[in-house]
Amino acid sequence: MAVLIRRLEEHDEVEPFDCGDEPLNNYLKRHAWANQQKSSIGVTYVAVDERALLIVIGYFTIATASVPRDAFPKKYVCGLPPYELPLILLARLAVDRRFSGKGLGHALISEVFKIALRVADDVGCRCIITDAYRDRVDWYARYGFVALEGAAESGPQRMFLDIRTIRMALKGAQ
């Protein structure tokens, strides 16, 4: 299956999408387009099968944000100014269960990395941050995300990935 990842379009078929998590399903079906087009508070990218270009099989939503410098481990912010750090918020990432285990999550996170590198070059950003479901922490850690201290024992775990880590990984792959 050849997958295309692109920005969400108004006529994309989102109703069949089911990742097994109702808040993630609901966001895509009810809020993603409005947040992207009307509110400009996040952009959703969708994965579609190239043979069925309108049927969404995975997605992620990103936005810009900032976090106080002291929220990060010292080794990541040493030498930086004492104000909030600009970053990319990976607000959501989900794969339809029919396509789970086929590498689609990897393709989506790889696209997030490409976008983050462009943003870092064009306007500046220090890292990607996400609030990972507890059962997905290990998945994000495989890509280099680091848990931030001070998270509640229940609920999502805030994690981040320094843009420099992505750049080093790309240099090592070349």
Is the pLDDT reported for residue 98 higher than 80?
A: yes
Is the pLDDT reported for residue 39 higher than 90?
A: no
Q: What is the pLDDT of residue 73?
A: 81
- The listed range with the strongest mean pLDDT (78-87, 92-101, 152-161) is 92-101
Q: Which of 84, 62, 59 is nearest to 130 (CA)?
A: 62
Q: What is the pLDDT of residue 174?
A: 61
CA-atom Rg of the chain in angstroms: 16
3-state secondary structure of 96: coil
Is the pLDDT reported for residue 152 higher than 70?
A: no
Domain total for the chain? Answer: 1
| CATH classification of the domain holding 109 | 3.40.630.30
Q: Give the domain range for residue 127.
A: 3-173
Q: What is the pLDDT of residue 81?
A: 84
